[in-house]
Structure 1
Amino acid sequence: MQTTKKDIQLAIRPDVGGEFFQWFNFRLSGQIGEQYVLNILNAGEASYLEGWENYQAVASYDRQHWFRLPTSYKDGKLTIVAELECETIQIAYFAPYSYERHQDLLAAVQVHPLVTLEHLGETLDKRDLTLVKIGDGAAHKRNIWITARQHPGETMAEWLIEGLLYSLLDSDNATGKQLLDKANFYIVPNMNPDGSVRGHLRTNAAGTNLNREWQSPSLDKSLKYFM
């Protein structure tokens, strides 16, 4: 829904199930040099209102380099101001980490001799859930498990995993080498690829918050099947 460029009215779409929402990622097209004011009207009903305090939306013209936009929250409305330097701008809650980049990451690290990819299972939307194993498997070493993006809207978690993987596998990184001398790593870069692709904040394709599934997981709510 839209009125004028000084009052573009938007609403965030809830996750499946309707319980959670906060994540957004959209494209705005307009005239170079013009200022556009975007008002997200249902921000006051979002899942984590404290998240709007001192919050600044991110934006990009090339979808590679991200910067902050002037953003304010008042009376349940989130207002984002964008003055266009190009005709099209991408605006998001956090810098997105796409499913395509996720697949590129897995493909890039698998060629390293210390890396093995293991297929853990298939998600409800029939996407692979992949484990990255790094190390020689020596029994005397510690085993370190790291998982990311049970909440798919927390995209910074997979950015961290990307940096961690490349640091561990960089032969010139002294810290990475020391860690691999002492430990084997078992890393799941994205625990919730379905929610990531669907643009969810916290849930998967079934509307399940996977962070609450550890006690009593199920094939119907968590994975289509598990290896």
Structure 2
Amino acid sequence: MAELPQPRLWGLWVVLLSAAVLTLGFVAKDLPGFTTNEFTVDQELSRNHDGFLTAVAMLINSVFSPAGGVVIIALTCVFLLVVRKSPVNAVAFGAVSAAGWLSSQFFKAIVERQRPNPALLFDPLAPETGSNSFPSGHVALAVGLAWAVFFLARNTRWARLAAVLGILVPVVVACSRVYVGVHYPSDVIASFLAATAAVVLVAAVWNRYQGSILPRIPLLGRFGPVAPAADSVHS
């Protein structure tokens, strides 16, 4: 991960993806009837909960929670740093996954959309209130991790599996958040765009600066060689 895939005109991609997130967020929040129509999906799912699906959704609710996200990212970074002795991969994995995840907090603060009202659900599984519905942090975490895992595996025999799981897992997490009743469909859709925008931005910054910054951190050198400056990769 000394070099990360970086699209051409990456800045334009960041702007367009971010604009799409904000447009969707303000339309969902302010357009009359939009939220009401979306909420019918949450209500319909709430009336038809299944024991197995509920168990899976609640497991996802815990695994991809803020605490779960910290544990997943921290343990993976420690594994890459200590066991694999790859400080570059450890820092890059942490930066990419955390950026994708934290992108949700940035857009939440701007849009401030109210969560679905649990009092109007037939079977609220994890009642939450507040103005932090858009976009979903759980889904943003899943997307950030998916990109980080794919970048880590892209030149190995695990690349195809990482790509498949990188699509499948975030989609399952997204569906679970609507199933639980804590997000609207547009919340989870926006998370894919928001997290990807953050990953594109971090990849560009990483390719530009990691070679000059990481070698100056003495602690990283104890675990293995730190990559020199690398040219940007375009894909």
Q: Normalized against structure 1, the TM-score is what?
A: 0.26
Q: Which has the higher strand share?
A: 1
Q: Normalized against structure 2, the TM-score is what?
A: 0.26
Q: Which has the higher helix share?
A: 2
Compare CA radii of gyration and give the structure with the larger one: 1
